[in-house]
Amino acid sequence: MKHSPLVKKAINGDEAAFETLIKKESEKLYKTAFLYVKNKEDALDVLQETIYKAFISINQVKKPEYFYTWLTKILIRTAYELLRKRKKVIYDENLIHHKPETEGNQDVEAKMDLLNAISQLSEQYQTVIILFYYQDLPIHQIAETMGKPENTVKTYLRRAKKELKHYIEGVHHCGQRALS
């Protein structure tokens, strides 16, 4: 990984190195958290809790090149913990309230349909879609993050795409909007 020397320093207790690593990855981590919890406040809570958990357990990282994979695992578990506590579907209020009054509405509606469709998937399928399409992680890194064989990840990805397509086509075919 590109941050390997910094990771080694952080593992050895260098707080400034840990802070630098987190700053470099914070935007990507926030976006990932947001995709799971669907609102700014909860995404920030998940990010803060993830950073705390990572800080107190950084010495568990065995190989510096897997630091980001390890951090992503913590983030995903933390996001699901929050969602389980809330036990409700959270819609993206920002998209609803700030809809532009132009032809861009179709684009916003399509994004809302997609976010809603992703939230309907199982945890494994959500994770595969988010890591592959939103984080641009390769299959082998997703497999490492999820603790699954690469072929299982490929199967999850194929099935998740099929479910998303079915869900989105169903929403548009029935003439309904995902958030009506």
Q: Has this prediction a pTM greater than 0.85?
A: no
- Judged against a pLDDT cut of 90, whether residue 148 lies above it is answered with yes
Check residue 170 and give its pLDDT: 77
- Judged against a pLDDT cut of 90, whether residue 87 lies above it is answered with no
Q: How confident is the model at residue 107 (pLDDT cuts 50, 70, 90)?
A: low
User: Is residue 82 within 8 Å of residue 42, measured between CB atoms?
Assistant: yes
Give me the amino acid identity at 78. Answer: T
Q: How confident is the model at residue 116 (pLDDT cuts 50, 70, 90)?
A: confident
- For 24-50, the pLDDT digits (tens) are 999 999 999 999 998 899 999 999 999
- Judged against a pLDDT cut of 90, whether residue 92 lies above it is answered with no
